[in-house]
Each structure stands twice: as structure tokens, then as C-alpha cells.
Amino acid sequence: MARTLANLGNAVKAFLNTQVMGSLFDLRAGETEVPSSAYAHNGDTPGNSWFLLDDESSFQLFRAANPGLTFIFSNHNNASYFGDRDMKIFDFGQNNTLRFSEEQGRVDVFGFDHDLTGSLAIYNSTNQSIVPDGKGGTLVGGNIDVHDVALDPSRVAFKSVNDQLSAHVTLVPLL
């Protein structure tokens, strides 16, 4: 319970940090979206936040040049990140799959200590390590930090495809 509250507090703080940016005389708000599964998404502006509210959705984000946030409040989803910069993902659902390829930055995943059936799929990775992060979590592939859970390797799949997934401009069929 305490970890859930801590994750919720961290999520609120991260969201507020994306919504008010800039200097005192040049304040800007980030973009917040409840995305559809119908098209590919591109986080091309600072302060992007996505809220996944529908069960069984397929969210795909390509080449986000700025740090972003995803909040998953639903179940049985595929959330894909292809060629993105720093990401924070808060999983408050169950049985969600997070897919990654060609990530350019650090990925922080919160909530997998409660999403006991959640999994990761990493495509075309040169680093297939699964090691403790030194803080009670698991570091996968060198840059995906799954906080607060010693992630069982059976929940991680390293896959290869003959395609650079981040180069797509339309949805990638589920692999």
C-alpha cells in the first residue's frame, strides 16, 4: 500500500513538472492526451503525457524527442516505445506489455510490483542484461529501470525483427 501511494505521489509530481515549464515570464504547459490505438503517436513537443484508460489498447509512440510520461490505468494493453528519449511509465493496471526498441534515453517503469502479470518485450537490443538496479528494482537492457521489483526473467522477452521499428510512420503490427 505504501509503495502504491509513493508511486501515485511520484506520478502526480512528474505530471505537474511537465505541465508547467519554462521561466517565470515564459511559462508553457505540456500536452496531455488520452490516446487512441487507431494511429501512431509522436511526442514532438516538450511535456508530453499520455493516459491509457481503455482496456486492450495498443499505444505506439515513435521518436519522441523530449522526455514523456505514460500513465496506464487499464488492463491488457500493449504500450510501445520506439526510438524515444527519456520516458517515465506508471502502470496502475494489470497484464500490460511494454515494448521497446531503439530507446535513446533512460526509461523508468513504476508499478510492476503490482502488475504481477505485466511483461517487457525488447526488440533488436544489443544489451540483453537483466540485473539488479541497486535500489530494489531491476535494470533491463542497460537503460530500462523497473523500480521496486526484482523482475523475474520470465517476464522479459528479447526479440529480433528484420526492421528498424522506430523508422515506421504508421502502426507496427503486434509482434
pLDDT under 50: residue ranges of the chain = 21, 27, 29-30
Mean of the per-residue pLDDT values of the chain: 84
Kindly state the percentage of the chain with pLDDT values over 90: 54
Residue 6 lies in a domain: yes
pLDDT score at 44:
74
Residue 171 lies in a domain: no
Q: Whose CA is closest to 62, among 77, 86, 43?
A: 43
**pTM, full prediction:** 0.83
Tens of pLDDT, residues 74-113: 999 999 999 988 999 999 999 999 999 998 899 999 999 9
Burial (CB count within 10 angstroms: exposed 0-12, middle 13-18, buried 19+), residue 35: buried
Domain interval for residue 95: 1-22+29-34+46-130
Residue 139 lies in a domain: no
Residue 40 lies in a domain: no
State the total domains in the chain.
1
